[in-house]
Amino acid sequence: MPVKSRLAGAAVAALMASAIGAHAFAAEITPLSDETVETAKAIRDKALESDEAYEILASLTTEVGARLAASPKEVEAQAWAVAKFKELGFDRVWKEPVMVPKWTRVSESASVIAPFAQPLVITALGKSVATPEGGVEAEIAHFATYADLEAAEPEAVEGKIVFISNRMERFRTGAGYGPAVKARSAGASMAASKGALAIIIRSIGTDTHRLPHTGGVTYDEAQPKIAAAALSNPDADQLVRMLGYGEAVTVHVDIQTTMEEPVEMFNVIGEITGRTKPDEAIILGSHLDSWDLGTGAIDDGAGVAITMAAANLIQDFSDQRPYRSIRVVAFAAEELGLIGARQYAEAHKDKDMDLHIIGAESDFGAGPVWALASNVNPASLHVVDKMAAVMGPLGVVRSDRKAGGGPDVGQLARAGMPVMDLMQDGTDYFDLHHTADDTLDKVDPVALRQNVAAWVSFAYIAAEWPGYFR
């Protein structure tokens, strides 16, 4: 056969193979009914008229308040969640145990000793060890970034108090958090490896208020542990100005904390049981704990309220339960290192993770949802596109970003569960994040309704569609 004919034949064969493959792929696509879409729209519109999420959030932040992981207040929050799920009429309510180390903030203070004596506003970072009783006093070793500290010679650090002054940038997506947060998470161990006595960092936040942002520190067990604290942004600016005078700046830092053995906490779960596939579940995640400075309204009381209210609106809309179950999980101890989510994923990975059909997490405050991203198989993309279309009147667009599922639900994604991201506007989120200003008055009820409307669109369609996202 001539070369040209062989090439032509190969091209025809390839085209036929492609057509056969496309046909096979098309045959695997499970259609989404028009009735499901219309019902989702109706529940969406109902959500825009409901303040149930705001009422749930007001209840949590007023009746419980701050909910530090492993503290008596987290125990109260878990009892509150069980009672709230039952009050809302969820079909099943249960708790799954989680072991959580008990860290407690006792006291914290700092001041400049020289050259310009004055107090500083700080907060201990979560899981920080204490300074020696009475605190430590030393000259500052200043570094503009974590990378600068990492590159420093030990003699520039030894016997000093490290100060990292990097500033977080503001983005709607919160993209400035990742580059900045390493100073908080890893700075203490890096400083300790070079002989520092303690570390203070500029708060990982975008505000200009004199309110420091706490957040977890992660210690390298191979290094000594030193006390770690965050300065408010104005106080960090003040230190930078002082250093600009060219004189050594000496500070005193006194942080007292305790760390006790792990105690038993719980992930609290409420479920609306599916009518046809009750063992298969759509996961709506958030975390119940908070830091102890504010009342945890945006982080993550709002997420708890949004997911509870979304599931409840779906069950209240009709006497008929969805095709599959909708499971709302209020994870324990997220702030201390995703502890509840990691233990949930471990407990379920070999047991029933294949029955976790798809999930998403609300843990980025109460700003409006503006985009929908997915991480699903190609044969289910038409369903995701329809979800986005239903959310369109809410101002939501379809994102081509690969979804991660969020901090907690992302642990289930690593175990194989498909995930979605209902992306919220986080422009102002890091003004409040982990501060005493994280309180109910910062939450816009209209934006909260919009969130719930987006979440019912996702949850109802995912629960009612008989196909699979894996």
* Residues β-bridged to residue 109: 254
| Closest by Cα among 285, 305, 423 to 367 | 423
Distance CA 334, CA 290 (A): 8
Backbone angles phi, psi at 392, to 5 degrees: -50, -45
Please give the C-alpha separations between residue 422 and each of 85, 387, 405, 418, in angstroms, as whole numbers. 23, 11, 9, 14
301: which residues sit within 8 A by CB, 6+ positions away? 57, 60, 61, 290, 295, 440
d(C-alpha 284, C-alpha 126), whole Å: 26
pLDDT value for 28:
79
3-state secondary structure 287-354: ECCCCCCCCCHHHHHHHHHHHHHHHHHHHHHCCCCCCEEEEEEEECCCCCCCHHHHHHHHHHCCCCHH
Q: Running along the chain, 470 residues long, what does each successive block of 10 average in pLDDT?
A: 35 36 53 98 98 98 98 98 98 98 98 98 98 98 98 98 98 96 98 98 98 98 98 98 97 98 98 98 98 98 98 95 98 98 97 97 98 97 98 98 97 98 98 98 98 98 97
Which class for 111: exposed (0-12), middle (13-18), buried (19 or more C-beta within 10 A)? Answer: middle
Contact, 160 vs 197, CB < 8 A? yes
Tokens of 305: 């309220």
Structure tokens given for 44: 């969406």
Contacts 24+ apart (CB under 8 A), 72-81: 73/292, 74/265, 74/288, 74/289, 74/332, 74/333, 75/265, 77/288, 77/289, 78/265, 78/266, 78/268, 78/288, 78/332, 81/268, 81/270, 81/288, 81/304, 81/330
CA–CA distance, 328 with 282 (Å, rounded to integer): 8
- Fold for 31-91+273-464, please state it: Aminopeptidase (3.40.630)
Buried b (16+ CB within 10 A) or exposed e, 115-148: eeeeebbbbbbbbbbbbeeebbbbebbbbebbee
pTM to 2 decimals?
Answer: 0.93
Domain boundaries, the chain: 31-91+273-464, 103-260
Place of tokens 């520039």: 156
Residue type at 260 in one-letter notation: E
Q: Is there a contact between 9 and 17 (Cβ–Cβ < 8 Å)?
A: no
243: its two tokens: 């250093």
Among residues 244, 241, 215, 210, the alpha carbon closest in space to that of 228 is found at: 215
Distance in angstroms (rounded) separating the CA atoms of residues 32 and 37: 8
Strands 324-331 and 122-124: unpaired
Cα angle, residue 268 at apex, residues 267 and 272 outer, rounded to 5°:
130
Q: In the prediction, which pLDDT does 12 show?
A: 34
pLDDT of residue 184: 98
pLDDT of residue 8: 38
- Residue-level pLDDT at 38: 98
Pick the closest to residue 253 from 114, 106, 124 (CA basis): 124
Tell me if the domain spanning 103-260 has CATH number 3.50.30.30: yes
Closest CA to 428 of 235, 234, 209, 214: 209
User: Tokens 């719980």 appear where?
Assistant: 266
| Cβ-contact 460, 322 below 8 angstroms | yes
**Do the beta carbons of residue 120 and residue 231 sit within 8 Å?**
yes
